[in-house]
Amino acid sequence: MPADRISADKTSTDRISVIVNGARGRMGREVVQAVKAEPDLALAGETDLGDDLARAVRETGARVVVDFTQPGAAAANTRTILEAGAHPVVGTTGFKPQDIDALRELAARLGRGGLIAPNFAIGAVLLMKFAAEAARYFPSVEVIELHHDQKLDAPSGTALKTVELIRKSQPAEVPANPAEKESVPGVRGGRYLGIPIHSVRLPGYVAHEEVLFGGAGQVLSLRHDSLTRTSFMPGVILAVRRVVHLKTLHYGLETILEL
């Protein structure tokens, strides 16, 4: 049995104590209410940027810390959570590949697992899965992600993760049209791993992604829309319940769905 395989004999009737870091933010407030609503979870504390997170973990004995803060604090917060003795569930974006590699090494050394997920909406995870499958048959693809105007990073972590999964499924990069000229610089978006990503930031949006595939005489469009932040809560709660059994750090909600 793999180290992170969860079996019935490892479950516990004890309530899982949870700190919500970033509790004063929009996502944090949703997580606080979601944790309070679950009979098998206990809200151990609410922290935010500027608070002593390590001390809060040690004093409360929290088993899990859910982090929704700011991109610049994501890697440091995850390290703090692991070293303080808790399992991280991190929805904050802004991780570099080398950050994730270093945190995986730390988690493995400590024998304490966790999860970093660009998106906790189950529908968004399915979109990424379907996009990776479609990429086997449609080599030409572009990604559009649309978020509220207060989002601090672009492109979104979900868009980056989607492109990474597509590239694994379809490693051959489709070259850009050499004759194409941008009359307005940047109008064709940015390229990540050779795939164009377009970021939209407007009031009224929450979190949305569309993956467009083009083929001879046909197009395929895959789209997911999170209309309210409650759409992320089932994934967050699922992650809280699963991470207490993990001994390694996972990246992407899809990696723990079948555990």
Catalytic residue ranges: 147, 151
User: Cα separations (Å) of 240 from 4, 81, 206, 259?
Assistant: 14, 14, 23, 13
Element (H, E) at 122: helix 122-134
Tokens read off for 40: 């098998």
- Residue partners of 171: CB distance under 8 A and separation at least 6: none
Question: Using CA atoms, how far apart are residues 118 and 209, in angstroms rounded to an integer?
Answer: 12
Return the axis-axis angle of helices 74-84 and 53-60, rounded to nearest 10°.
30
34 touches 46 (CB < 8 A) = no
Inter-residue long-range contacts of 51-59, CB under 8 Å, 24+ positions, other chains counted:
51/21, 53/19, 53/21, 53/77, 53/80, 53/81, 53/84, 54/80, 54/83, 54/84, 56/19, 57/19, 57/81, 57/84, 57/85, 57/86, 58/84, 58/85
Instruction: State which amino acid sits at residue 208.
Output: H
